[in-house]
Amino acid sequence: MKLILEVFAKKFDEKIGEEVETIVHSEEVESKEHAIKRKNKLLDKYPEARFMLHYCYHDESPIKPCRREVL
């Protein structure tokens, strides 16, 4: 399993002419505690963002669905 910190923020999409929420930053982390520390450091850069911890199981056998947790 991989743990990935994902930062979601709203951006204006010129193609569709409206604001959408998209991933603006992501990085692999070692643990939930590490993700929380990184979140606290990234809050200055992304003050309006939503931070999620992505539990990625794509490399597992058998493959099971990923899940996300709001930080």
| C-alpha span between 54 and 62 (Å, rounded) | 18
Residue-wise pLDDT for 26-65, tens only, equals 999 999 999 999 999 999 999 999 999 999 998 888 888 9
Q: What is the pLDDT of residue 59?
A: 83
Closest CA to 2 of 56, 50, 52: 56
Contact between 68 and 52 under an 8 Å Cβ cutoff? The reply is yes
The total of structural domains in the chain comes to 1
pLDDT in tens, 9-23: 999 989 999 999 999
| pLDDT computed for residue 61 by the predictor | 83
Find the domain containing 58 and state its range: 2-70
pLDDT at 6: 98
